[in-house]
Amino acid sequence: MTAPNPEVEMSRSRIAIGGLDITAEPFLQLIERFDWDLSLLEELEGASGPPTDAPRCLVVDWELDESRDLCRSLRSTGTLPDVPVVAVVDDPWSPLVADAFASGVDDYLPRRQLDRLEEKVAAVAGGGTLIGQSASGQVVLVDPDRHQRVLFARQLHRMGFDVHFALDIDSIPEGEQVKMVVISAALDVVAALKARTADVPWLVVGDRDQLDAVDVKETERTKLFDTNGDPGQIVFIANQLLTEAFTQLRASKRLVYGVPIHFGAVKAGSSGGRTYGYTYNISLGGLFVRTLTPPAIGTVLDLCFSPPSGRGRVLVTGHVVWRQEQPVGRNGVPCGFGLQYAELPLADGAALEVGYEALAQHLDKLG
């Protein structure tokens, strides 16, 4: 069966709030600024599919179990598969941030910066520039886990693919229209790989234990993806499989890496203050940061984040070399910006290099 396209016709006049006081000043400012209505996330509970008047954005208190669970449910059931979600947390460096992005959140704010919510909503309301080319063709998603299928289908649809669901390896179709197979490590992947006749890329997905138990090594045509992290990272891995440029040797590969990051413009007088984002991938020369409000190309930023496999945080300077604005482009890349390092203090540069190599070795072992 072919999965329905999760693109939802979203209302530009409503924001759904989960677990937060909708009479608080930041929300009253949104009403005045955009003339939008506010509603409670709980009003969407129990819906069986996308509502005809879906909210334009969700703002969810990620400190509350009930708000987190409801948001995950709305995502996994296909009720609001593609509506941007902003999580609110007490501590911007908390493990809850990783949990939020693993659950499909698009951006986050610490509670003390809730007054900056207007910037996020303005980005959602105003649209943006699409970067990259549309993918086309069919991706076969073979996974008995419905929740996981929906999360991955959302990301693959964003790349422009028609997603076909299969529950077992016997249901995998073949033909020129199939461009990639995404298969759960819980299935007999080895047998499925041996049985394939078409030379299409395969992406094996599962948690760390499942991937360790699968006797499959990474090649240019077969990749492994750890489902414990951000589901949006599947786009990065899919691009590696499908784009020839990714298969060519680089001085430094981009590695999947997600941690909170604090950044702001270096020059005094630059628009916008310091805020938080979430890293998407990292190389020796730079990184990609997820945020609904990416700075302009050429902006010089300083950034503070934890290096891979390191303790503490590093402080680096770099400039924005490209950006992906809202709405998410058909290349499937999430909102955010690519940054090239411009200045690396000796100790921080060394910590990044050591951490990068350790991360590369860890990912190689998974393969």
Average pLDDT over residues 19-23: 86
* Average of per-residue pLDDT values in the chain: 79
Backbone phi, psi, residue 214, to 5°? -85, 130
26 band by pLDDT with thresholds 50, 70 and 90: confident
Closest by CA position to 332, among listed 263, 243, 205: 243
> What does the block give as tokens for 281?
């991938």
Q: Rounded to whole angstroms, what are the CA distances from 358 to 34, 177, 230, 261?
A: 47, 38, 20, 20
50 band by pLDDT with thresholds 50, 70 and 90: low
The per-residue pLDDT for range 292-335, each reduced to its tens digit, is 988 887 889 999 999 998 788 999 999 887 777 754 544 556 88
Domains in the chain, CATH or no CATH each: 15-126 (3.40.50.2300), 138-242 (3.40.50.2300), 255-366 (2.40.10.220)
Residues 6+ apart with CB under 8 A from 269: none
In 72-195, where do the E strands start and end? 85-89, 107-110, 138-142, 162-166, 178-184
Could you tell me the pTM of the whole model?
0.65
Strand 37-40 with 14-18, pairing: parallel
- Point out which residues pair with 267 in neighbouring strands: none
Q: What is the 3-state secondary structure (H, E, C) of 260-309?
A: EEEEEECCCCCCCCCEEEEEEEECCCEEEEECCCCCCCCCEEEEEECCCC
Separation CA 354–CA 349 (nearest Å):
9
SS3 107: strand
Separation CA 54–CA 68 (nearest Å):
19
Average pLDDT over residues 122-133: 51
CB of 227 closer than 8 Å to CB of 207 = yes
245 band by pLDDT with thresholds 50, 70 and 90: very low
Strand 222-226 with 162-166, pairing: unpaired
What was the pLDDT predicted at 278?
A: 96
CB of 189 closer than 8 Å to CB of 204 = yes
